Amino acid sequence: MAENHPANALFRSWFDLRVNEMRQILACATCKTELTFPISPIETAAEMRAICTFALEKPVTPRGRYLLIEGEVRKIRMAFAKGWQPRSNAWINLDDLRDWIGYSPHQKRLSGCCDISGSGEPNRICHCGKHIGWHHADCHEWHLFEPVMDATFWKKTKDE
Ligand SMILES: [Zn+2]
């Protein structure tokens, strides 16, 4: 099909609409505070390859999208790093976190080489004080936020 075929434009707008419809907000399980802007998942290996960046000091996903670490994506990521076990099912762009998300009061969790490393205990907190995720922003890391799964939940934007 030619690049400028009208069906392509139709597909693109359908796709944008679908990505929009799939938007969710990560929330705190303890106090229900919203932790992210509305974001939509990247769920397939093909989409991951097309959209994600796997490079040191670079965000893995663009703003507004997060990588869902399930199914074939999870399999590929696990094959990439032998022995690695996902501790969360989502990799979120740090810029999609809301301003009111704080940092752990435990200084040790905020250490790193050039910036905060997510290799230890959870290092970001909700304003209720619960640790809700890992902030990865160091020079030896891919930059992302991983939610603590049992401290958070996903809600549909339509519920608002
Ligand atoms: Zn909370």
List, for residues 43-61, the tens digit of each pLDDT value. 999 999 999 999 999 999 9
| CA dist., res. 86 & res. 143, Å (int) | 16
Separation of 122 CA from ligand 1 center, angstroms? 14
pLDDT at res. 19: 78
Q: What does the DSSP 8-state code read for residue 150?
A: G
Give the position of tokens 């009061």. Answer: 105
Give the count of beta carbons closer than 10 Å to the beta carbon of residue 12.
Answer: 10
Distances in whole angstroms, Cα of residue 68 to Cα of each of 7, 26, 42:
29, 13, 6
- pLDDT tens digits, residue range 115-159? 999 999 999 999 999 999 999 999 999 999 999 999 999 998 865
Separation of 101 CA from ligand 1 center, angstroms? 9
Q: Are strands 40-42 and 65-68 parallel, antiparallel or unpaired?
A: parallel
Domain ranges of the chain: 6-159
Average pLDDT, the chain: 92
What token pair was written down for 30? 């303890």
pLDDT at 160 over 50: no
Band of residue 3 on the pLDDT scale cut at 50, 70, 90: low
Separation of 6 CA from ligand 1 center, angstroms? 47
- Compute the average pLDDT of residues 108-117: 94
- Indicate the residue type of 87: R
Separation of 31 CA from ligand 1 center, angstroms? 4
Separation of 59 CA from ligand 1 center, angstroms? 25
What token pair was written down for 26? 């990560």
What token pair was written down for 40? 């939509």
Total-model pTM: 0.88
| CA dist., res. 18 & res. 5, Å (int) | 20
pLDDT at res. 2: 60
| CA dist., res. 144 & res. 133, Å (int) | 10
Give the count of beta carbons closer than 10 Å to the beta carbon of residue 29.
Answer: 17
